[in-house]
Structure 1
Amino acid sequence: MNSDGGASQSVTTGGPSSSTPSATPSQDTLLATFGELHPACDHWVQGSKTASRKRMYGKDLVHADGTPATPDSTRPTTTTSTLGRRAVACHVASVGLVT
């Protein structure tokens, strides 16, 4: 109880004992810079094929160019998920080279 007879309330702030970590100013600057550069890199470095293939997933068989494979296809095939993962890896590598 406090001096006027009411119950006291404690207020916690986001200090050192807080469960959510806070970024240092240099980390904030780095994250802000990356946040601004990432769309520019996507626009200028990443090709349209890579951009569209990053969203591919599933077990359907496709050719390296993303076209559906037929059972009698003689060209090499892969799953759509594998093609999507390759596109994401290319994207990460290209952004890493630019930044």
Structure 2
Amino acid sequence: MPSLFDNLPPDLAEEFFETLWKTDSVKIERIVSKGHASPPGFWYDQEEDEFVLVVRGSAGLRFEGREDIVELRAGDWINIRAHVRHRVEWTDPAGETVWLAVFSRRESRS
């Protein structure tokens, strides 16, 4: 049985992204970080809604227009609606932060 902790990359010079499952409307991704953050001035602005669960480690997210940083620790999750601009301010530099991200597109109603 596969585990989210299997085959963690030994060298994390860059954040690691791995698609675990994908359909036309849903993508499940494992992300592994270690001291990574979004580049200065960069904001995610995604077409999909994103459910994010921190499975191991910790991270801080910033949302455009808010001064506070949302801190996530193992077991914490958040829903980020499509086009809500956000960035990763920090991830734990002492160990891997393992994320499970579920991206979903809303069906258009005509």
TM-score where L is the length of structure 2: 0.21
Structure showing greater Rg: 1
Larger fraction in strand = 2
Larger fraction in helix = 1
Higher relative contact order (CA 8 A, sep 6+): 2
TM-score where L is the length of structure 1: 0.22
